[in-house]
């Protein structure tokens, strides 16, 4: 690393309070360390250490430089570890906990792209509820978690998140398909496909209808995003999903997605991992791949 030796000299002198002790620790002549510090002080036109009878103490300028040095050394160590990990990236496993719709769309796309680059890395995709995703991350049973409205936890770090909007999902031939945005009231004459009470989106959709003062009598209840989409393709039935859920169907013109004029509450998709936990390079790279797949808009489930 550029100037690595000088950075280490200054760091050790500050830690040990002595050029002689730093020299002994680094196996370098104290005179060589002192000379390098004096040259840097001359270049900066600032003293970096107070020379005291009992040792060396950083000046305010020295403290500011030390903060930079220690950040730089830490980043360097992390980079070296990542480079070394590249040699081990040919093997290993990354476990991602997610939801059914996401598993079959965003995660599948990202995993396939990642695996093409790193064919020896195994990827385990496990589908579960939002609460189970949190538990799997907290218990280190999964390296990554991807889901909607993931509860906050002191043990979980959010890598990326975005607020998504539920909208009307229907067949391309649906009578409402010509509209750019659709009021909830115009959905009620058609068979409605609602998530059952075990799914987070049930509450989001039910609250929106209640706030609009609309009574609804769903034709279908299900806890499967795939079933919702299949039902919506077969006739005049309407489901309420996000664009992530139906990205493949939109691309193939099997379904349409329209925003609803009556606002739904927040529906946030989050990519998470264990807080303050050693993250293997494979997991970091897969997380980057998933974030890349999410940004343009792909598919999902709750």
**End-to-end CA distance of the chain, in Å?**
47
| 214 and 148 within one domain | no
Domain assignment of residue 299, yes or no: no
User: How many angstroms separate the CA atoms of 35 and 37, rounded?
Assistant: 6
Domain boundary among 42, 67, 88: 88
The structural domain count of the chain equals: 3
pLDDT in tens, 47-95: 999 999 888 999 999 999 999 998 888 888 777 776 666 666 666 789 9
| 249 and 201 within one domain | yes
Tell me the whole-structure pTM to 2 decimals: 0.63
pLDDT in tens, 188-224: 999 999 999 888 889 899 999 999 999 999 999 998 8
The DSSP H or E segment spanning 147 is strand 144-148
| 81 and 67 within one domain | yes
| 9 and 81 within one domain | yes
| 275 and 146 within one domain | yes
Specify the pLDDT at position 79. Answer: 73
Domain assignment of residue 189, yes or no: yes
Specify the pLDDT at position 238. Answer: 98
| 274 and 138 within one domain | yes
pLDDT at 266 over 80: no
| 226 and 187 within one domain | yes
Domain that holds residue 109: 93-162+268-294
Domain boundary among 71, 88, 105: 88
Contact 200, 302 (CB under 8 A): yes
Domain boundary among 88, 115, 135: 88
For the chain, the average pLDDT equals 88
pLDDT in tens, 129-171: 889 999 999 998 999 999 998 998 888 999 999 888 899 999 9
Closest CA to 137 of 123, 158, 118: 158
Specify the pLDDT at position 17. Answer: 93
pLDDT at 21 over 60: yes
Q: Are β-strands 267-274 and 156-164 bridged in parallel, bridged antiparallel, or unpaired?
A: antiparallel
* Band (284; pLDDT cuts 50, 70, 90): confident
Domain assignment of residue 111, yes or no: yes
Domain assignment of residue 301, yes or no: no
Cα→Cα distances 147→28, 98, 99, 218, 285, Å: 53, 6, 6, 25, 18
User: How many angstroms separate the CA atoms of 144 and 98, rounded?
Assistant: 8
pLDDT at 29 over 60: yes
User: How many angstroms separate the CA atoms of 257 and 245, rounded?
Assistant: 10
Specify the pLDDT at position 267. Answer: 82
Specify the pLDDT at position 45. Answer: 94
Q: φ, ψ for residue 79 (rounded to 5)? A: -65, -45
User: How many angstroms separate the CA atoms of 113 and 293, rounded?
Assistant: 10
User: How many angstroms separate the CA atoms of 78 and 284, rounded?
Assistant: 13
| 106 and 245 within one domain | no
The CATH number given to whatever domain includes residue 286 is: 3.40.190.10
| 249 and 183 within one domain | yes
| 227 and 150 within one domain | no
Contact 128, 99 (CB under 8 A): yes
Domain assignment of residue 213, yes or no: yes
């Amino acid at each position: 690393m550029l100037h690595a030796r000088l950075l280490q000299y200054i760091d050790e002198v500050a830690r040990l309070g002595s050029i002689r002790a730093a020299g002994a620790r680094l196996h370098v002549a104290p005179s060589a360390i002192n000379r390098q510090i004096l040259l840097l002080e001359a270049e900066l036109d600032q003293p970096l250490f107070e020379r005291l009878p009992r040792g060396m103490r950083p000046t305010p300028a020295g403290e500011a430089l030390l903060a930079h040095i220690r950040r730089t050394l830490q980043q360097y160590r992390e980079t070296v570890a990542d480079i070394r990990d590249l040699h081990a990236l040919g093997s290993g496993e990354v476990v991602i906990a997610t939801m059914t719709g996401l598993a079959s769309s965003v995660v599948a796309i990202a995993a396939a792209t990642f695996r093409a680059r790193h064919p020896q890395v195994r990827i385990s995709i496990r589908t579960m509820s939002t609460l189970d995703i949190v538990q799997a991350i907290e218990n280190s049973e999964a390296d990554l978690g991807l889901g909607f409205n993931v509860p906050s936890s002191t043990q979980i770090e959010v890598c990326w998140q975005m607020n998504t909007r539920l909208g009307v999902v229907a067949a391309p031939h649906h009578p409402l398909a010509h509209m750019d945005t659709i009021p909830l009231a115009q959905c009620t004459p058609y068979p409605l496909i609602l998530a059952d009470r075990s799914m987070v989106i049930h509450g989001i959709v039910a609250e929106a209808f209640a706030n609009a003062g609309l009574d609804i009598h769903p034709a279908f209840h299900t806890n499967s995003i795939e079933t919702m989409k299949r039902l919506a393709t077969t006739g005049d039935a309407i489901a309420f999903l996000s664009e992530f859920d139906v990205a493949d169907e939109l691309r193939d013109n099997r379904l349409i997605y329209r925003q609803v004029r009556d606002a739904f509450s927040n529906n946030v998709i989050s990519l998470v991992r264990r807080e303050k936990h050693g993250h293997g390079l494979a997991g970091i790279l897969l997380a980057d791949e998933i974030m890349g797949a999410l940004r343009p808009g792909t598919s999902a489930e709750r």
